[in-house]
Structure 1
Amino acid sequence: MRKSKDHYTCFQCKNPVLKIESKKDSIINKDGKIINKYFHDDCYNEFLNNRKEKEELDRICQYVKEEILQYKSNQRVPTHLVRRIQALKSGQEYGVSRNSKVYGNESGYSYEIILKTFKAKKFDIIRGIKDKSKFKNDTHKIDYIMVVIINNINDILERIEAKKSSDKRLNEINLDFSDEKNYKRNKINDNKVANKLRDIW
């Protein structure tokens, strides 16, 4: 939406932004039409971050829906599941105690770690929810699933961090080995040059 001939309205903050300073992005609306939106620099970065987080959240919800809950394509992702995942992202145990922090992590977990924990515990969860008589409803079942995730997410995080640390050390070793090979190669070349000079003189 345009503010004037020289301005657009920033899609993110709704304030005017100069045309010559604006960032442009295309968005598909509910009718499937492509609409151009304009942003301030900072607002555009915020918009991209929000969009990335939404895509990551959608990826987790679709994974749980299809791979764990094994819903049909026409069944919607439960709102309670979305809220529980968002709460874990922000460090809250929503549904267990709405105002309590997840033990061991005050700032929450990234969606990447949450998804990896779901994948790592997939078969344990499926076995746990196989007996439907244990659960009063889907909300009760989702609460059980999230307890499994919360109880295991720190372990998954530690494994991932340990692997990253191990990969970093391996890269450093490879770099050291590469430097040593280059040193030896250069030393051999220096010796060849010295021998040639000796022959000349």
Structure 2
Amino acid sequence: MSKIIKCYYCGKVIETENQLVEKKIPMATKVGIRNYRRKFHMNCLPKYLEGRADKSLLTKENNDWNAVYNYFRKELLGLGETKSLDTHTVRRLTGLRLGQYYPNGQNVRILPRGYDFKTILLTMKVVKPKVNMYVSNTNFSNSKHRTDGIMRFITGEINDVSQRIEQQNKASEKLMKDKDIPSFDYKAKLKEKKQEQGNTVQNDINNLFGGQL
């Protein structure tokens, strides 16, 4: 393919036309929901549609987003619950979900790229002391300047946080697998084997002599 085309779902390059499939995707815009044609790997489209159809998965990600939104507003900006985040801040946070500056006309839910909202939230908690000090000692020209300054702390730490979470998850998976593997007691197995052999010999003797010995 002469033009580089990336899959809407995984974000990786679609190498050949045989791998390419297009699908109209509903997108939230300022004037309501509009359908836009997006390009996918052939094997990625079913995964995307399955994720979109999983209401519990969507609900979970929406709840994680709410936690990110509220933490940034209260703990990093010091705003009350009646205050809303400005558009720029929301776009920076949702862009980070995809590993980008802004989401640029993409839904941010169910896509397996960038950083999930739980990782973003944990990173914000890690950098909170530094951010609070930075906000207290800096004169910002506007809210955009303040948000971008805070985001530098988050983007500077999020790769490390993501790697630590991945390592922890792998360790947990290994632990669970180890628990599922029964331990092998050599001595007990040997004793069991000898008993089986002894019982077999005794049965043969009984069968031969009619149990008279």
**The two structures share one fold, judged by TM-score above 0.5:** yes
| Counterpart amino acid of residue 183 in structure 2 | D
How far did residue 85 of structure 1 move? 0.8
Pick from 84, 91, 101 the counterpart of residue 76 of structure 1. Answer: 84
CA contact (8 A) 1:89 1:109 kept: yes
The residue that corresponds to 1:63 in the other structure is 71
- What secondary structure, in the 3-state scheme, does the structure 2 residue paired with 1:140 have? helix
How far did residue 83 of structure 1 move? 1.0
The answer on 1:156 being equivalent to 2:161 is: yes
Q: What are the within-5 Å matches in structure 2 for residues 70-149 of structure 1?
A: 70-94=78-102, 107-131=113-137, 133-149=138-154
Pick from 153, 162, 180 the counterpart of residue 184 of structure 2. Answer: 180
Tell me: CA distance 1:184–1:45, structure 2 relative to 1, closer, same or farther (3 Å): farther
Greater mean alpha carbon deviation, residues 138-147 or residues 42-51: 42-51
TM-score, structure 2 normalization: 0.56
Identity percentage of aligned residues: 25
Tell me: CA distance 1:64–1:171, structure 2 relative to 1, closer, same or farther (3 Å): same
Would you say how many aligned residue pairs link Structure 1 and Structure 2?
Answer: 151
| Counterpart amino acid of residue 134 in structure 2 | G
Q: Which runs of 5 or more structure 2 residues have no equivalent in the other structure? A: 1-24, 27-48, 105-112, 206-213
TM-score, structure 1 normalization: 0.58
How many angstroms apart in 1 are the aligned matches of 2:173 and 2:58? 30
Q: Which runs of 5 or more structure 1 residues have no equivalent in the other structure? A: 1-11, 14-40, 99-106
Which has the greater radius of gyration?
2
| Counterpart amino acid of residue 192 in structure 2 | N
CA contact (8 A) 2:51 2:57 kept: no
How far did residue 89 of structure 1 move? 1.5
